[in-house]
Structure 1
Amino acid sequence: MTLEEKIGQMVQIERNVATPDVMKKYFIGSVLSGGGSVPASKATAETWVNMVNDLQKGSLSTRLGIPMIYGIDAVHGHNNVYNATIFPHNVGLGVTRQLYKLLLPFFFFFFPPRDPKLIKKIGEATALEVRATGIPYAFAPCIAVCRDPRWGRCYESYSEDPRIVQLMTEIIPGLQGDLPANSKKGVPFVAGKTKVAACAKHFVGDGGTTKGINENNTVISLNGLLNIHMPAYLNSISKGVATVMVSYSSWNGMKMHANRDLVTGFLKNKLKFRGFVISDWQGIDRITSPPGANYSYSVQAGVSAGIDMIMVPNNFIEFIDDLTYLVKKNIIPISRIDDAVKRILRVKFVMGLFENPLADHSLANQLGSKEHRELAREAVRKSLVLLKNGKSANKPLLPLPKKATKILVAGSHADNLGNQCGGWTISWQGLSGNDLTVGTTILKAVKNTVDPTTQVVYSENPDADFVKSNDFSYAIVVVGEPPYAETFGDSLNLTIAEPGPSTIKSVCGAVKCVVIVVSGRPVVIQPYLSTVDALVAAWLPGTEGQGVADVLFGDNGFTGKLARTWFKTVDQLPMNVGDSHYDPLFPFGSTSRNVYQLLIEQVISAAGKFKLESQGDWVSTQESGLGFRMEIEVGFLDGGLGSGFKTWVGSGFRAKGQCHVLELGFGTSGRVGSGFGTESVSGFKTEGRVGSNFGTGMGSRSSFEMVVGAGFCGWDRVLRSGFETWSELSFRTGDQCIFMSVALTSSKYNQSND
């Protein structure tokens, strides 16, 4: 390859400056669509495919015929494209995590169903819709760990907890396909024509900037950077992620786009990442302040740091000229250029672009398909968090009855698809209104769900007199934030947009109401909390608002748990779980919900039996002894998959041949598992249980646990307390009592991280 051909491969330009002739003349390696950059308004999948193929033909007409890569931001579905399925933003998907606990009989092995995780299914659907438009590369996922909700990109983050973000990297095999067994560490992988190359972003520390200011400085020790912001990159690389995008932000004053130690020294050399590193939009320009003040220096600093593909996106000729000069003058060694081009070509080969450079229309029906919309609806249901239900615990408001006489629906976000989807939807900043794409608003969902005899009245901002005079049975108030993206979303006050607060006061002061908050992060809600009967965090649910009504009216239950701390006042920020000043309105992991879990226990008898006879026909056998239990836990608070043994002591009795146990047990268990990428975690658990089991009947139990563990992210301490009720079947085999129970559990988790 000539130097000109090599440098061309390193260039990514915007669609609006790309033509087949430009692709051929400058050997351009990649093209992108920025937010809102489309071939036509409401363009069809076929129109997108034709546009991408026209540009590809320009690349194929070069001397070497190297295909270009077309990339696009598909951060919550194929969000730039009309009629695509818009999934909830990451802030909502982070709360969909679920805890699976299996308590198994000793010497009895049990495997849970291998159903793909929701996030992986979303990745699979997104890949199909992106490929439907002829595009093989998605700038997703964002694996930022947002530590301050004042940041305008916080909705792009799954959680403030790095462990949840790690778990959400399961979207990568959804986008790219499952990594083959025995794959070499760090080597990128894309499974075929229905998959896309993924991009883990933004490397690294973008979610930890001071005061949440976008593109600002993250002040943190190396240990803090590695423990909080780095772990998800280990997971991404272990799953074969094809590319990594560098962050605009700085780490302790050093711009990440110029940070050779982290980009080359850590990411490429230590973590063995073999895909290519890409800049953000005009990322190298922003190495200097103001941006572009010394462009030649920025090119030198960015390429020398280890950035392989540069998202120029418009002034590509200046970039090519400057980089050519720097190489010819030996300021940048040709070996650095060769490394970049090898990485880019490696990704193009694994994507199959050399074999199949041109897209066809065969996947066009995948765009906005019924199956994908049903998946998004499921994601909406599971992303909802019930924060309050009733003004007293024994008088819950939700679920609402479908046959209520008259329901008021109010609020700026009740009938506004754009507000419901948020930023990065059709345009970069997002749009308000109902004309941007195809979907179901929350108002429409309510009307679809209630009984035909129920009257649904919509008023965006009704006054108190209107509410009082209409004798409503219930009110649903949907308020929140307007759409925004990146710096435009930075906020120091985090308030609900007007007229939301006045709507809450007017409506909830006159009728039983549930307030649904549509926002990209926690917002100030404490002043209105005593006024509302029920409170639901819906985040930014996307196009499938029917999922909200599914849960609101009881067709499905609330299952989401907060993946972010909900603060009382902005004065507390930044405040994350484990902080010494932690005093939230709603803590990390909280929810007003019940969880079903399957418990299978085995009681193993020991010595010390004796009999008591009473009233002739009543025979009781009392037993005391030691038991042990194997436990496998897949959970997010504990850090992953673990197994171990637990010992306990208790007592039991048998009446008329039935097994019963009255137990007061204390025990200790050791646990070994994989919770932090490829690292292992070990710990000890102490548990106290008080309760009773009644043969084939009902029971109750209170419990507490303390878990102490060590792993890649440091030491963890978790305190849990809770109360359980369950239905139980027990039977006896030999000298053993077997208890099988399905438990309805309500738990509170308190966590501290050192």
Structure 2
Amino acid sequence: MYCSSTPVVRRCLALGMSVVLALTPIGALRADMGPVRYLDPGRPVASRVDDLLARMSLDDKLGQMTQPERRHIEPDEVTRFRIGSVLSGGGSAPSPNNVRNWADMYDGFQRAALAAPLRVPILYGVDAVHGHNNVVGATIFPHNIGLGAARDPELVRRIGAATAEEMTGTGVDWNFAPCVCVARDDRWGRTYESFGEVPELPSSMTTIIDGLQGSALGRGPTSVLATAKHYVGDGGTAGGRDQGDVRLSEEDLRAVHLPPFREAVRRAVGSVMVSYSSWNGLKMHQNRYLITDVLKGELGFSGFVVSDYNGIDQIDGAPGFTRKEVAAAINAGIDMVMVPAEWRRFIERLRAAVEDGTVPMARIDDANRRILTKKFELGLFERPMADRRYLGTIGGAAHRALARRAVAASQVVLKNDDVLPLDEGDRIFVAGRGADDIGLQSGGWTVTWQGAPGATTPGTTILQGIREAAGGSATVTYARDGTGIDRSYDVAVAVVGEQPYAEYEGDRTDDLRLDDTDRETIGRLRAAGVPVVVVLVSGRPLNVTSELPGWDGFMASWLPGTEGAGVADVLFGDTDPSGRLPVTWPRSAAQEPINAGDGQRPLFPLGAGLGYD
């Protein structure tokens, strides 16, 4: 706990009392209402919520339902408007971006929340989708598509727990993850956020929720709130268009896209984020049937529902949001609204909708009850500040070792003409844009929203991993474009693939072919007459059908993150390849969408992968 050490606080701590209570002028909490029960950690959560709700004004309640972005709100505004949550969008970080500045920033916002009359702490949300990836120096794990290839729910649970520890050190207590979408079209720019194309894969990987939240929310010092997203069907949009339309019958929507959310709810996930996409023309952000009737009613979800970033703006198709859109979203069952910049306008329009009866007060109270319940369960009223004991775990050796094992487990060998595993005594020539580039191998949602090539954060590149695995006496030569290779080398390794990207900007409507630069690099290696192994670093299958016959080895590495040595572990046989395709690999982009059981003949089927036996 990072807090004041005044005598009254020390005495309250010794008595097991809430730090918030110790710092609170009781008069400000409306003493006429009797004892301040909600600040008593010995009382049941439901009783504490009842007591707090009874003390809250409409301003307090509207503030709890509002989530601005850190760049668009000052700490004093958090106090004044009773804001319930703040987020960092992709790449939104303190400057300089380091672990202590993150903790300081979090504590500053939290102190501001605690300065309001009722002393209700905020939740701080980030997209920690493959580790605490907004923070420079954090451990970056493989993206979900790689973890789907690993098919190891316990490994994924441990990754969730490691991510929670690193978040805890910076104070951040709410993770907008996991994405449990079922990606059905590889052209979609968020394919790598999916564990796989069949519902069984994302459903089995919801163990990451257990890792993030712990055995129960708030049980243990590193428990953080998890979010199942994006509800529902975002991986099944027509043409693979991000934020597009899911044109399915209800029967098919339930069979393919709903099961992972059912499993997430079974694991008591704390929040669910609504998708930008539509279902048969109706925006999910206004779909009362799916949010209230199915998710909260049928599935029994007791947490709270959050919108996506400016998601309510899209309900009527026009820029910005109207009072009608605000009312439609809240009445549909959205409890907290991610409204990065125009949060004051949101509060005004929601207040007007409540005052004229368009949004019932019962709906406002239900939303607040859901939000406050999770804050109490997390223990935020007792432990509101960053737990700096965990700063040392961020990018620590134990987490990087875990990530390296995850990388190795995610590698999928798809072709091997007696060239793998590599021999430590080989003369090895390494080429390709992805060989010595942390940013490229980590992909999007790494330090910045779209990600970027280059040395964006500390880690081990694939080239560094190869050199380490080959040993000091081996010959490992590197040329990014493949120039300088000759017949004296025993093998060439080309590390090629996609440049970093994230949602929307990552959509592809082309033929999913390799970049011309990559194809030219591989061509130079082949021209030397030595065996060529292609390592593909990508967020989805690419069209390699015409090139594959000229390759002696082919390994899908997905987006491995900061621990490139895990790729080398498989290349050299220190770890036997165990990864299996989590998606169907098409022969051409013309087959998209292609999925198991649809009657098409793929290049490689779902579940394909070779070992070294």
Tell me whether 1:460 sits opposite 2:480 in the alignment: yes
Mapping for residues 181-200 of structure 1, pairs under 5 Å: 189-200=217-228
1:168 and 1:362 mapped to 2: Cα distance?
A: 29
Match of 1:205 in 2: 233
Match of 1:151 in 2: 188
Q: Which of 208-217 and 281-290 deviates more?
A: 281-290
Match of 2:442 in 1: 421
Q: Does the 8 Å CA contact 1:192/1:351 hold for their aligned counterparts?
A: no
Give the one of 535, 557, 574 matched to 1:516.
535
Match of 1:633 in 2: none
1:527 and 1:224 mapped to 2: Cα distance?
A: 34
Match of 1:398 in 2: 420
Tell me whether 1:139 sits opposite 2:176 in the alignment: yes
Q: Does the 8 Å CA contact 1:59/1:65 hold for their aligned counterparts?
A: yes
Tell me whether 1:66 sits opposite 2:94 in the alignment: no
What's the CA shift string for 1:468-526, capped at 9, x where partnerless?
3x621110100000000001000022222331111112212421111000000000111
Q: In the comparison of the two structures, how many residue pairs are matched?
A: 556
Closer/same/farther in 2, CA of residues 210 and 467 from structure 1, 3 Å limit: same
What's the CA shift string for 1:370-394, capped at 9, x where partnerless?
000000000000000000001xxxx
Partner amino acid, structure 2, of 1:586: F
Q: How many angstroms does 1:330 deviate by?
A: 0.6
2:101 and 2:312 mapped to 1: Cα distance?
A: 32
1:509 and 1:224 mapped to 2: Cα distance?
A: 49
Q: Does the 8 Å CA contact 1:79/1:86 hold for their aligned counterparts?
A: yes
Q: How many angstroms does 1:17 deviate by?
A: 2.0
SS of the aligned residue for 1:196 comes to coil
Q: How many angstroms does 1:46 deviate by?
A: 2.0
RMSD value, Cα: 1.2
Q: Does the 8 Å CA contact 1:218/1:251 hold for their aligned counterparts?
A: yes
Partner amino acid, structure 2, of 1:499: T
Give the one of 64, 78, 99 matched to 1:9.
64
Q: How many angstroms does 1:451 deviate by?
A: 2.9
Match of 1:485 in 2: 502
Tell me whether 1:51 sits opposite 2:105 in the alignment: yes
1:282 and 1:27 mapped to 2: Cα distance?
A: 20
Q: Does the 8 Å CA contact 2:206/2:260 hold for their aligned counterparts?
A: yes
Q: Does the 8 Å CA contact 2:134/2:447 hold for their aligned counterparts?
A: yes
2:234 and 2:463 mapped to 1: Cα distance?
A: 36
SS of the aligned residue for 1:233 comes to helix
Give the one of 344, 361, 366 matched to 2:371.
344
SS of the aligned residue for 1:538 comes to strand
Runs of 4+ in 1 over 3 A off after TM superposition: none
Mapping for residues 548-697 of structure 1, pairs under 5 Å: 548-580=567-599, 582-593=600-611
Q: Does the 8 Å CA contact 1:410/1:460 hold for their aligned counterparts?
A: yes
Partner amino acid, structure 1, of 2:507: D
Structure 2 spans left out of the alignment, 5+ residues: 1-55
SS of the aligned residue for 1:211 comes to helix
Match of 2:385 in 1: 358
What's the CA shift string for 1:547-599, capped at 9, x where partnerless?
0111101111100010100000000110100112x2100100011226xxxxx
Match of 2:11 in 1: none
2:300 and 2:609 mapped to 1: Cα distance?
A: 40
Match of 2:30 in 1: none
Give the one of 257, 280, 290 matched to 2:285.
257
Q: Does the 8 Å CA contact 2:462/2:564 hold for their aligned counterparts?
A: yes
Mapping for residues 171-190 of structure 1, pairs under 5 Å: 171-179=208-216, 189-190=217-218
2:218 and 2:266 mapped to 1: Cα distance?
A: 14
1:192 and 1:334 mapped to 2: Cα distance?
A: 35
Q: How many angstroms does 1:457 deviate by?
A: 1.0
SS of the aligned residue for 1:527 comes to coil
1:409 and 1:53 mapped to 2: Cα distance?
A: 46
Match of 1:232 in 2: 260
SS of the aligned residue for 2:177 comes to coil
1:120 and 1:190 mapped to 2: Cα distance?
A: 17
Partner amino acid, structure 2, of 1:330: G
Q: How many angstroms does 1:270 deviate by?
A: 1.1
1:281 and 1:309 mapped to 2: Cα distance?
A: 11
Q: Does the 8 Å CA contact 1:482/1:497 hold for their aligned counterparts?
A: no
Q: Percent identity?
A: 47
SS of the aligned residue for 1:409 comes to strand
SS of the aligned residue for 2:160 comes to helix
Whose Rg is larger? 1
Tell me whether 1:474 sits opposite 2:474 in the alignment: no
1:496 and 1:130 mapped to 2: Cα distance?
A: 36
Tell me whether 1:28 sits opposite 2:55 in the alignment: no
Q: Does the 8 Å CA contact 2:460/2:562 hold for their aligned counterparts?
A: yes
The structure with higher relative contact order (CA 8 Å, sep 6+) is 2
Q: How many angstroms does 1:8 deviate by?
A: 0.4
Give the one of 387, 397, 404 matched to 1:377.
404
Q: How many angstroms does 1:452 deviate by?
A: 2.0
What's the CA shift string for 1:670-704, capped at 9, x where partnerless?
xxxxxxxxxxxxxxxxxxxxxxxxxxxxxxxxxxx
What's the CA shift string for 1:427-454, capped at 9, x where partnerless?
00001012x1000001111111113222
Q: Which of 52-61 and 380-389 deviates more?
A: 52-61
1:316 and 1:527 mapped to 2: Cα distance?
A: 52
Give the one of 512, 516, 531 matched to 1:498.
516
Q: Does the 8 Å CA contact 2:430/2:482 hold for their aligned counterparts?
A: no
Structure 1 spans left out of the alignment, 5+ residues: 99-115, 180-188, 391-395, 595-743, 745-754
Q: Does the 8 Å CA contact 2:482/2:522 hold for their aligned counterparts?
A: no
SS of the aligned residue for 1:64 comes to coil
Q: How many angstroms does 1:360 deviate by?
A: 3.2
Mapping for residues 514-553 of structure 1, pairs under 5 Å: 514-553=533-572
Partner amino acid, structure 1, of 2:602: P
Match of 1:660 in 2: none
2:249 and 2:366 mapped to 1: Cα distance?
A: 30
1:504 and 1:92 mapped to 2: Cα distance?
A: 24
Q: How many angstroms does 1:456 deviate by?
A: 1.2
Q: Does the 8 Å CA contact 1:56/1:67 hold for their aligned counterparts?
A: yes
Q: Does the 8 Å CA contact 1:60/1:67 hold for their aligned counterparts?
A: yes
Q: Does the 8 Å CA contact 2:578/2:610 hold for their aligned counterparts?
A: no
SS of the aligned residue for 1:340 comes to helix
What's the CA shift string for 1:342-362, capped at 9, x where partnerless?
000011011101111112311
Q: Does the 8 Å CA contact 2:226/2:270 hold for their aligned counterparts?
A: yes
Select the structure that is richer in helix: 2
1:504 and 1:533 mapped to 2: Cα distance?
A: 12
2:214 and 2:471 mapped to 1: Cα distance?
A: 43
Tell me whether 1:316 sits opposite 2:343 in the alignment: yes
What's the CA shift string for 1:30-83, capped at 9, x where partnerless?
00011111111332x222111111111111111111111011110000000010
Q: Does the 8 Å CA contact 1:53/1:358 hold for their aligned counterparts?
A: yes
Select the structure that is richer in strand: 1
1:364 and 1:119 mapped to 2: Cα distance?
A: 22
Q: TM-score, normalised by structure 2?
A: 0.89
Q: How many angstroms does 1:317 deviate by?
A: 0.6
1:276 and 1:426 mapped to 2: Cα distance?
A: 27
Q: Does the 8 Å CA contact 1:192/1:352 hold for their aligned counterparts?
A: no
Q: How many angstroms does 1:467 deviate by?
A: 2.5
Q: Does the 8 Å CA contact 1:402/1:454 hold for their aligned counterparts?
A: yes
